[in-house]
Amino acid sequence: MLNSEIRRGYALISPALILICGMLVLPMIGLIALSVTTDRQLSSFTLDNYSRIFALRLSAPGSVLPFALDNPIYLYLLAKSLAMSLLSTSAVLLLAYPAAFYVAFRVAKNRTLWLFIISLPFMTSYLLRVFAWRLILGHNGLVNSALLAIGVIDAPLDFLVYSNFAVVLTLAHAWAAFAILPIYVSLRKIDRSLVEASIDLGSGPSRTFWRIIFPLSLPGVISAAVLVFIPTVGDYVTPALVGGTNGTMIGSLVYALFTRADQPNLGAAVSVTMIVATVFATIGVTQVLRHCARRV
């Protein structure tokens, strides 16, 4: 029998627990059930959807590997999406860290105002921000118009939009606030006396940063990386709007399977595979960051 303390604890967390169960656990169970059945009514069990994703066949003679994927599109797009997300996450962290550092260490007054100003663009619709990048990077957009006007280029730069570059840049901007805030919180928690001690003992700013500040801010960096990496893997909107013909990512394929192709069971299997791959990739990324921190 649970004692009253534990019962009280459960009672306190029950609203959040119910919400998580209702909004997360049950849909996940539904998704997994859909992925191992033959139709929307979950009539009969099958692993055909997963075997379609992972099935191998003998390679053509002369190939490097003896086996090849029978339907490579699923794992290919998954790998591409993980790579694009990793790139976007790295870009976000590189952009967000200096901003968070500046607000945490250099801003003495009105820090809350700074944070509010940094967060303000992210209170607008995600879709509008992606469209804004199309206006900036487009054929007649801000960048091309400016460069044409000052004579740097003779014709608009086509690679700016409808390219993987545009996808990474747009994702990096769209998720920046989710990186700046946890890194800022982590930097603020650092005991300033440690920084002062490092300087007193003769370390320069660079050494102080890499030996004291960065390792102590790593929990925030890891949180930021996880917060950005996970949702960008399955992003559908950004590749659709700025990715062009090469912008297909796994999210686009899942959408196509559920709608145009009318194959929801296969779409569910791809989604579950994506979730599992993302979890393992996230664990990998965090372990790498922790390892780097220990080495520093």
Partner 1 sequence: MSSVYERMFAGGTTSRREVLRTMAALGIVPITKLSVTNANAAEPLNIFTLSVYAQQKLYPDYADAASLNFSIFGEPNEAVEKLRSGFRPDLIGPAAWVIPRLVESANVRAIETSRIDNWGKIFPEILDFKDLKVDGKYYGVPWAWSPVSVMYRTDLAKKYVGAESWKILWDEEYAGRLGQRDSGEISAVQALLVMGEKDPYQTAAGRMGEIRDMLKKQKELLRFYWQSETDAAQAIVSGEVVATYAWPSTYQIAKRAGAPVAFMKPKEGTLFAVDTFVILNDTKVSDDQIYEFLNAALGSKTAQALLSEVGLCSANKAAFDAIDSKTREELGYEDPDALLANAVALASFSSEDRKAILGMFEEVKAGL
Closest CA to 84 of 231, 271, 291: 231
User: Least CB distance from residue 285 to partner 1, whole Å?
Assistant: 24
Instruction: Please identify, using beta-carbon distances, which residue of 141 and 220 lies nearer to partner 1.
Output: 141
Instruction: Please identify, using beta-carbon distances, which residue of 39 and 191 lies nearer to partner 1.
Output: 39
Instruction: Please identify, using beta-carbon distances, which residue of 252 and 282 lies nearer to partner 1.
Output: 252
User: Least CB distance from residue 253 to partner 1, whole Å?
Assistant: 6
Instruction: Please identify, using beta-carbon distances, which residue of 85 and 217 lies nearer to partner 1.
Output: 85
User: Least CB distance from residue 138 to partner 1, whole Å?
Assistant: 8
User: Least CB distance from residue 72 to partner 1, whole Å?
Assistant: 6
User: Least CB distance from residue 205 to partner 1, whole Å?
Assistant: 46
Instruction: Please identify, using beta-carbon distances, which residue of 166 and 174 lies nearer to partner 1.
Output: 166
Q: Where does this chain bind partner 1 (CB under 8 A)?
A: 40, 72-73, 76-77, 80, 138-140, 156, 158, 162, 240, 244-246, 248, 252-253, 256, 258-263
Distance CA 28, CA 201 (A): 54
Q: Report the length, in residues, of the chain.
A: 296
